[in-house]
Amino acid sequence: MNYIYPEYEIVRNYDKCIGCRVCERQCANEAHYFDEDCNKMLCDDMKCVNCHRCVTLCPTRALKIVKSDHTFKENANWRGDLINDLYRQSHNTGGVLLSSMGNPTPLPVYWDRILLNASQVTNPSIDPLREPMETRTYLGKKPDKIEKDENGNIIPKHKYPQLELETPIMFSAMSFGSISLNAHKSLARAAEECGIFYNTGEGGLHKDLYKYGKNTIVQVASGRFGVHSSYLDAGAAIEIKIGQGAKPGIGGHLPGTKNVGEVSATRMTPEGSDAISPAPHHDIYSIEDLRQLIFSLKEATNYTKPVIVKIAAVHNAPAIASGIARSGADVLVLDGFRGGTGAAPTRIRDNVGIPIELALAAVDQRLREEGIRSDISVVVGGSIRSSADFFKAIALGADAVYIGTAACLALGCHLCRSCHAGKCNWGIATQRPELVKRLNPDMGYKHLVNLVHAWTHELKEIMGGMGINSVESLRGNRLMLRGVGLNEKELEILGIKHAGE
């Protein structure tokens, strides 16, 4: 007996349907089918994940997906989703509930409670169409003071390796395996075009993408999949992944069904085996151990590349960040609890970690108080949804942002949160060849470039409105922010005043 009722209903307008069967061919979940007996298209609502593929491609707009209004008896404590999840575990899987993409629960989004300032009368605004605006950003340790040569001239270069970004946006780590090669190709090419960086995630670097090395951040995760000397040499920077916002405290899991062909070859793992990266790095149990790995990677690449350490935003993030800054890392990545993922236990995704806004403000403050803020750059990720979030992140203290879910949306993702099933109808989170080819990298990269350019334009507009002409002047400039509807404690942690003050 199946206790679970479909979450969505597929509504077909038979007056508009011409029976072309496009929907049937497009749905990898096999929700649509043609019934010979009644000579018409029918569907199985239970199989629908609400990805909008059929809705978008139906030539006559005959389809829509609606949320089912089937309901349990009202109960403010036992919500319908909790009851259904319990049935899923007790009557079906007997295992951990899996999910993907970001945390969808209605926890506070502080970006929406922060407002920006603008110039009026004094400190006039700047027109970005007529005056230069500087968005170029350098990530990496900075010297404490300006260095001069024997003639008193400033030495423009310093000894610390830097990542140079044309705009402070990067594509966050998504592994080949969790996403398709066509998605990776789109990200790599867009990063090159925009003068920014994409990140391999923990799946290694496909041989076709080595040519994008100067715009690639290569990741070293606990499983060490695909890590070898040419891989380290290929990237512009190396990222050690300690944690991920969507699933803090646990490792990664690529099912054997997805670890096939070029994915397993790139990862250097046996084909068909589950690629499980452990929760901890088995050689890291302290900041001293982390320091050893950082310097091993620096040594392996002749001290030419910045080393990044990525952690999930958790309760004691400021203290951890302080340790990471002192461990020799050049860049710290803070990944917030709304960050996306290819697969995560649902309960962990929805209940572990803290909002990125609070973590960022607390980390920036702590590093400033300890006088080590210029020792390390801070990059934040975890559901940066628009240029407004991006801008507020910079003003709260970030040097740059990572975008993952937003990049997937630009590639066509419709946030069905079913990446873990490997049947992404949009060709992104899948390895099935017939689905992968739905994402054309020649188009995908253009959409990503458009997004980065659009956000950069908006960044310049907003900066100009404030009378600021460089990202450098915006960074950590919390005077430009005001809170609305926040309590004293929240304002204190964010380090901003309330609107009206």
Residues of this chain that bind ligand SF4 (CB under 6 A): 10, 12, 17-23, 26-27, 29, 31-32, 41, 48-55, 58-60, 62-63, 65, 100-101, 408, 413-419, 424-426, 428-429
Which is nearer to ligand SF4, 308 or 424 (by Cβ)?
424
d(CA 48, CA 324): 44
d(CA 214, CA 487): 45
Joined together, the tokens standing for residue 23 give: 């929907």
Sign of CA dihedral 242, 244, 249, 252: negative
Q: At closest approach, how far in Å is the CB of 357 from ligand SF4? A: 24
Nearest residue to 174 via CA among 233, 206, 219, 126: 219
Map residue 43 onto helix, strand or coil: strand
d(CA 447, CA 430): 19
Q: What is the DSSP letter of 3?
A: -
Q: At closest approach, how far in Å is the CB of 50 from ligand SF4? A: 5
Q: At closest approach, how far in Å is the CB of 349 from ligand SF4? A: 13
> Please, are residues 53 and 429 in contact by the beta-carbon 8 Å criterion?
no
Which is nearer to ligand SF4, 62 or 190 (by Cβ)?
62
d(CA 427, CA 411): 9
Sign of CA dihedral 281, 346, 339, 213: positive
* Residue 285 neighbours by CB under 8 Å, 6+ apart: none
Which is nearer to ligand SF4, 100 or 135 (by Cβ)?
100
Which is nearer to ligand SF4, 58 or 293 (by Cβ)?
58
Which is nearer to ligand SF4, 247 or 475 (by Cβ)?
247
Q: At closest approach, how far in Å is the CB of 21 from ligand SF4? A: 5
Q: What is the DSSP letter of 191?
A: H
Q: At closest approach, how far in Å is the CB of 439 from ligand SF4? A: 10
Q: At closest approach, how far in Å is the CB of 470 from ligand SF4? A: 35
Sign of CA dihedral 244, 247, 252, 254: negative
Encoded amino acid at 15, one letter? D
Which is nearer to ligand SF4, 5 or 138 (by Cβ)?
5
Which is nearer to ligand SF4, 29 or 135 (by Cβ)?
29
Q: At closest approach, how far in Å is the CB of 323 from ligand SF4? A: 34
Q: At closest approach, how far in Å is the CB of 233 from ligand SF4? A: 31
Which H or E element spans position 98?
strand 98-99
Phi, psi at 424, each rounded to 5°: -60, 115
Which is nearer to ligand SF4, 53 or 113 (by Cβ)?
53
